[in-house]
Amino acid sequence: MLGAAGLGGLAALAAPQTKTAAAERTVSVPDVSGDFDVVVAGGSCTGVFAALKAAEAGARVALVEMAGGFGGTATQGLVPVWHSLFSTDGKRRIIGGLTAQTEEELVRRGEARRLAADNPAVGTYLNVAGLQLLLDEMVLNAKRITPFLHTRLAAAECDRPGHVAAVVVADKAGLRRIRGKFFIDATGDADLCRFAGLGTWKLPKAEMQAHTTCAILAGVDGLRRKYPSFGFGEITKPKYGAKLEHVFGWEAPVIGAPGLDFLAYTRVSACDPSLPEDLTRAEFEGRAQLRRIVDAVNRAFPMPAGERLSVVSIAPHIGLRESCHIEGIYRLTTDDLLYGRHFDDVIAKGSYRVDIHEGAGITFRYLDGREERQVVKSDGSSEWKVGRWRTETEGLPTWYEIPYRSIVPKGAENVLAPGRALDCARDAYGACRVMVNCNQMGEAAGRAAAKALKKGLKAADAHVG
């Protein structure tokens, strides 16, 4: 055992050494060992599916994810809904591939519940923990994928304009470099493209879709039994004191956990998630709104102790609806989407409606010409305005298409950006951004990356039909 004198002696010895060492240090960025053809940044299903498809085609893949697990907004944001894999009339299956296989496996495991094929709001409720466990299995069982968790993309190095040679990541070892031949930016925020100096754009903050901190709650079923008219929509009214400026939110069951409910009722608007200060503010603001919602419910709808509404789990990451988009070789227009334009380089088909989370309300626009808008009235309550954005006519489309050219950054030789960073007009984006669509873009990017490497093609020429 050391006495006081012993401790003092140690301190005297240690202090000068630490000082000298610190003064002489420079930041080194060693290479990660491994020889990679394709580097995928971001590990939602978009990134995971890209990695799986590139590896299946023979590429050695590094899959970099800043969280401790895969799944992106589904697992880090707790969002439990995939939309229908069928055309809007429910008659034609338009989405297959890894999305369908994953959904089928989760249904088989009892970790997902499928609704009617023509349901315009929900295709399948997923247990997102089940999804995360399945993605672990898929990645670990794949040959040629090296996963890097808790690893954040921090910079990109180009050896000539438009040609990325390596990414720099921050992990528990400090900064490290991962070299590769082809890069897939599945960060959702176009981080890799921005860091590589490729063109990106973003809407003014006020026009970006709002973000939401999601949570799992206990006690909703008890409230509904005691107060049959209870609904979270009620709580947005000013009289309940939750001090919310928005009126729209939604709930979902937690598959496999009767008694628990998923809630997406917070809304942080005018926030650009590519700005670190905005993102920090958004995390605090989303959680503060959640606190106020739960407190307002418990004040207005009293329950016995132990049965009150309580938060069981808060999403580790605020759910981000929109941030930076790539400057692609083609910007998908709203007419392309709503009139169901066919593309010769189609990589994804979708039937989910245009869904725009405005500052306070929401707008839905459908391929059949209908439009629904929830607007806030002067007394803080809301009303739905239902109409049409186009007149009724024969032969309306029942799905839309997303072309490869919208995930190819302009001027990029060896980069693709599938997922919500695609180049897309604001209203079209309201539909493209959902997971079943991003998943398909990811698969296409993985296959195209492998093709580009095999045939020596530039990203723009590597579309796989």
Interface positions with ligand FAD (CB under 6 A): 41-44, 46, 64-67, 72-73, 76-77, 79, 81-83, 152-153, 186-189, 191, 211-212, 214, 264, 319-321, 419-420, 433-436, 438
CB of 428 to ligand FAD, least distance (A): 13
CB of 394 to ligand FAD, least distance (A): 30
CB of 18 to ligand FAD, least distance (A): 32
* Nearest residue (beta carbon) to ligand FAD: 419
Amino acid 349 reads K
CB of 453 to ligand FAD, least distance (A): 22
Which DSSP string do the residues of 186-227 spell out, in sequence order? -SSS-HHHHHTT--EE---GGGSPPBB--EEEE-HHHHHHH-
Phi, psi of 334 (to 5 degrees): -70, -35
Closer by beta carbon to ligand FAD, 120 or else 188 = 188
Closer by beta carbon to ligand FAD, 25 or else 172 = 172
Tell me the chain's radius of gyration from C-alpha atoms.
24
Three-state DSSP at 165 gives: strand
Side-chain-facing half-sphere of 418: CA atoms under 13 Å:
37
CB of 20 to ligand FAD, least distance (A): 35
Closer by beta carbon to ligand FAD, 189 or else 401 = 189
Closer by beta carbon to ligand FAD, 76 or else 88 = 76
Place of tokens 């995930």: 407
Other CB atoms within 10 Å distance of the CB of residue 318: 25
Listed residue (298, 217, 214) closest to 259, CA to CA: 217
Closer by beta carbon to ligand FAD, 181 or else 267 = 267
Beta bridge pairs of residue 354? 365
Three-state DSSP at 238 gives: helix
* Residue 282 tokens, joined: 């958004």
Closer by beta carbon to ligand FAD, 44 or else 334 = 44
CB of 335 to ligand FAD, least distance (A): 22
CB of 406 to ligand FAD, least distance (A): 13
Closer by beta carbon to ligand FAD, 260 or else 300 = 260
Closer by beta carbon to ligand FAD, 65 or else 423 = 65
Contact 300, 390 (CB under 8 A): no
Q: How far apart are CA 345 and CA 422, in angstroms?
A: 15
CB of 7 to ligand FAD, least distance (A): 42
Beta bridge pairs of residue 439? none
Exposure string (b/e) for 75-112, b if CB count within 10 Å is 16 or more?
A: bbbbbbbbbbbbbbeeeeebbebbbeebbebbeeeebb
